[in-house]
A and B are shown apart, each in its own frame.
Chain A
Amino acid sequence: EAGVAQSPRYKIIEKRQSVAFWCNPISGHATLYWYQQILGQGPKLLIQFQNNGVVDDSQLPKDRFSAERLKGVDSTLKIQPAKLEDSAVYLCASSFLSSPLHFGNGTRLTVT
């Protein structure tokens, strides 16, 4: 089966600019997750979707981060405006019911 696809792999932007990341989960996986992984730390959940509905966005900085999964398949995570502390790897994962998470290769964001 095809894995979780993410793009771009790398992005460099200046602070106060905007950026968007895209994720296409494994076919049939209803649950999609966006994680932020700062260098040297474990992944932190930003937002969790069940089909096209949000089930957990408690740790999403909503003043600057937004995410959508309009058709219950692929998803976009946006940051506007970016801050230096947003430099991290953004990981997308998907799962089916209680199956293990399947991760994409991530997008490495550098904010200068």
Chain B
Amino acid sequence: AQSVTQLDSHVSVSEGTPVLLRCNYSSSYSPSLFWYVQHPNKGLQLLLKYTSAATLVKGINGFEAEFKKSETSFHLTKPSAHMSDAAEYFCVVSGMVGTYKYIFGTGTRLKVLA
């Protein structure tokens, strides 16, 4: 079975400071992992994906995530937050269970303070 846990429902950072959004996963086989961002009244946009290649994955808008199998984690980071980063972020695990299944975390709302 697959599952994903986002450890923080809300994160607040000051503009220009680092961002860390935490995600732990559970999977009985090698998973694919994704981070999506959702701005208000918008659909979900893919930030980055991990599919068993390099463990450090770079995405759009300066975000990156590191896959750590020993810790079953896939935390999202950004060196310097921008006001436009304020949004909801979802960690997603996927795998083949008959067909491709995508399991969403409950989301982390990022607030960026001026």
Contact = CB atoms under 8 A, between A and B. Distances in A.
Interface stretch (A12-20, A65-73, A77-85, A92-100): A92-100
B77 interface: no
Contacts of A75: none
B106 A42 contact: yes
B44 A43 contact: yes
Contact of B41 (A103, A104, A108): A108
Interface in B26-85: 32, 34, 36, 41-46, 49, 51
B100 A31 contact: yes
Contacts of A33: 102
Interface size class of A (residues with CB under 8 A): 20 to 34
A100 B99 contact: no
Contacts, number: 54
Q: Is the interface of B mostly helix, strand, loop or mixed?
A: strand
B32 A41 contact: no
Given A100-B34, A106-B43, A41 B98 contact: no
A73 B88 CA distance: 30
B44 A55 contact: no
A42 B94 contact: no
A40 B100 CA distance: 25
